[in-house]
Amino acid sequence: MAFPGAIKDGESAGALGIDPVAQYPDVRSHRQKLGLLLPATNTTMEHELWTLLVKNRELGGIGIHSSVVVTPRPVLRTAEDLESYKKQFVGGLDAAVEHALLAQPDALVMGMSLEHILHGIDAIRGASASVTTRSKIPLFTWQDAAPAALRTFGARRIGLLTPFDRTGNENATRLFRDLGFDVVTTVGFACADAVQIAHVPDAAKERAIVELLATPENKLDAIVQCGTNMGMIDVAEKIEPKIGIPILGINSTLLWYALRQQGIRAPLAGGGRLLREA
- pLDDT for 242: 97
**Higher per-residue confidence, 84 vs 48:** 48
Percent of the chain at pLDDT above 70?
Answer: 97
For Cα atoms 66, 171, 120, give the angle at the middle one, nearest 5 degrees: 85
For Cα atoms 278, 248, 190, give the angle at the middle one, nearest 5 degrees: 170
Query: What is the pTM (predicted TM-score) of this model?
Result: 0.91
**Higher per-residue confidence, 10 vs 48:** 48
**pLDDT band of 76, cuts 50, 70, 90:** low
How many Cβ atoms are within 10 Å of 13's Cβ, its own excluded? 11
pLDDT one-digit tens code per residue, 168-188 = 899 999 999 999 999 999 999
**With 60 as the cut, is the pLDDT of residue 1 above it?**
no
Cα-Cα-Cα-Cα torsion 53, 56, 58, 60, nearest 10 degrees, comes to 40
Q: Which CATH class is domain 32-277?
A: alpha beta
